[in-house]
């Protein structure tokens, strides 16, 4: 039996055809597919401006630069989630304040944000962990009133909808990642979206060397955060079947719910966000065990899993006091993510669930 991987990109012959077309056109840096992919994301999210980037992380970096964030500025980020937003903030010498997440949704709650927010807070990053938008609707209204920037890290939530608003539309800026594991992939790539024309102008400048119209005339210290046309062609091809991809992801999630012994586990809770598109199948187990034992047992049975994100308390580089983020620390040590990709068959899911159910029974 072959190993069942945790994730696998879904690529098809149509993606290859478009990639070949981009290659044959010789437009391998800039080119039409970048605009096409940007237009797709604009339409999908109903945003006014979209800028393709070389990764989700560079989109975050570009978001901070375009908001004019600078050394010492206070920014709130979740203490559970992919650490790209805090790593970049640290690289820019921003004052990173971690905020604990909600035990059930794995996302920031308004209550927790209110506990850490100060008069100095310039921006909050919400991470839609594993596709869950949590309380984003409430939080975005609250931050708007306070005139604090909201950056939506939607890297894992392309297609999720909350209160009739599509992920990618919340806050001042939203980012997506098109890494190989994401709902839509270009291998490496990302997107930054906004409705604000002033911010959009800045994004355009910083994305491309600080140059506007006149070549080689640098107006600000910009960078090269651009996506290649070759990669954009794959993403554009995938965009045509995004609704199929997301439907499929939902059905895989439901199959896990059908076959797993739900009395033995706590699933990530999507109750605030019933129209979420799950990015993985994340859970903790009720039994007091070291989750690594379960993942090792599954690995021996040819099932690859992923551990939860490390909380800052478990990352030396962040140098934070232990036990400061109780929920994040718990999730960090307890979450396990099960295989989740389009090619998974019901019999694979049955097999995975059977192994887990057996393990948790003993
Ligand atoms: C929530 C989140 N934000 C940001 C990133 C960074 O994106 P990229 O890998 O495209 O730089 C990722 C993952 O890859 C992510 O899951």
Ligand 1 in reach of 82 Cβ (< 6 A): yes
Ligand 1 in reach of 78 Cβ (< 6 A): no
CB burial string 5-16: b at 16+ within 10 A, e below? ebbebbeeeebe
pLDDT tens, per residue, the chain with 362 residues: 899 999 999 999 999 999 999 999 999 999 999 999 999 999 999 999 999 999 999 999 999 999 999 999 999 999 999 999 999 999 999 999 999 999 999 999 999 999 999 999 999 999 999 999 999 999 999 999 999 999 999 999 999 999 999 999 999 999 999 999 999 999 999 999 999 999 999 999 999 999 999 999 999 999 999 999 999 999 999 999 999 999 999 999 999 999 999 999 999 999 888 899 999 999 999 999 999 999 999 999 999 999 999 999 999 999 998 888 999 999 999 999 999 999 999 999 999 999 999 999 97
Q: Give, for ligand 1, the residue of 179, 189, 228, 335 to mutate: max count of ligand atoms closer than 8 Å to Cβ.
A: 179
Ligand 1 in reach of 200 Cβ (< 6 A): no
Q: CATH top-level class for 13-239?
A: alpha beta
DSSP per-residue letters across 190-247: EEEEES-HHHHHHHHHHHBTTB-SSTT-BSS---B-PPPHHHHHHHHHHHTTHHHHHH
Ligand 1 in reach of 155 Cβ (< 6 A): yes
Indicate the pTM of the whole model: 0.98
Q: Give, for ligand 1, the residue of 177, 225, 306 to mutate: max count of ligand atoms closer than 8 Å to Cβ.
A: 177
User: What atom in ligand 1 is closest to the CA of residue 178?
Assistant: 10
Cα(346) to ligand 1 centroid in Å equals 28
| Nearest alpha-carbon partner for 346 in 244, 278, 283, 256 | 256
| Residues 339, 305: Cα–Cα separation, whole Å | 6
Residues of the chain with CATH 3.40.640.10: 13-239
pLDDT of residue 322: 82
Q: Give, for ligand 1, the residue of 82, 134, 151, 234 to mutate: max count of ligand atoms closer than 8 Å to Cβ.
A: 82
Residues of the chain with CATH 3.90.1150.10: 242-361
Q: What Rg do the C-alpha atoms of the chain give, in angstroms?
A: 21
Cα(186) to ligand 1 centroid in Å equals 13
Ligand 1 in reach of 190 Cβ (< 6 A): yes
| Residues 256, 350: Cα–Cα separation, whole Å | 8
Ligand 1 in reach of 182 Cβ (< 6 A): no
pLDDT of residue 271: 87
CATH code reported for the domain at 242-361: 3.90.1150.10
Cα(340) to ligand 1 centroid in Å equals 17
Q: End-to-end CA distance of the chain: give it in Å, rounded.
A: 24
| Collapsed DSSP state (helix, strand, coil) of residue 138 | helix
pLDDT of residue 230: 98
């Amino acid at each position: 039996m072959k190993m069942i991987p945790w994730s696998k990109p879904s690529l098809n012959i149509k993606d290859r055809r478009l990639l070949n077309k981009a290659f044959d056109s010789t437009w391998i840096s800039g080119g039409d597919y970048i605009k096409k992919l940007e237009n797709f994301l604009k339409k999908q999210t109903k945003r006014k401006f979209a800028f393709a980037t070389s990764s989700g992380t560079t989109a975050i970096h570009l978001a901070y630069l375009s908001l004019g964030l600078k050394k010492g500025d206070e920014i709130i980020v979740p203490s559970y989630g992919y650490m790209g937003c805090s790593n970049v903030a640290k690289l820019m010498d921003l004052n990173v304040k971690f905020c604990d997440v909600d035990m059930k949704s794995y996302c920031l709650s308004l209550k927790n944000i209110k506990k850490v927010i100060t008069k100095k807070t310039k921006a909050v990053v919400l991470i839609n962990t594993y596709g869950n938008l949590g309380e984003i609707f409430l939080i975005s209204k609250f931050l708007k009133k306070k005139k604090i920037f909201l950056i939506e890290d939607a890297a894992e939530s392309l297609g999720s909808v909350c209160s009739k608003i599509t992920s990618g539309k919340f806050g001042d800026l939203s980012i997506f990642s098109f890494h190989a594991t994401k709902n839509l992939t270009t291998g490496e790539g990302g997107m930054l979206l906004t409705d604000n024309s002033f911010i959009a102008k800045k994004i355009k400048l910083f994305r491309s060397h600080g140059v506007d119209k006149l070549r080689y005339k640098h107006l600000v210290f910009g960078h090269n955060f651009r996506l290649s046309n070759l990669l954009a062609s794959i993403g554009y091809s995938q965009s045509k079947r995004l609704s199929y991809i997301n439907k499929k992801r939902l059905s895989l999630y439901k199959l896990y719910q059908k076959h797993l012994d739900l009395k033995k586990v706590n699933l990530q809770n999507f109750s605030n966000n019933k129209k979420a598109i799950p990015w993985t199948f994340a859970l903790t187990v009720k039994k007091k065990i070291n989750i690594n034992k379960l993942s090792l047992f599954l690995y021996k049975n040819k099932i690859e899993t992923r551990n939860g994100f490390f909380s800052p308390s478990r990352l030396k580089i962040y140098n934070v006091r232990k036990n400061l983020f109780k929920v994040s620390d718990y999730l960090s040590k307890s979450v396990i993510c099960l295989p989740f990709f389009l090619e998974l068959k019901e019999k694979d899911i049955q097999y995975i669930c059977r192994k887990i159910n057996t393990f948790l029974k003993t």
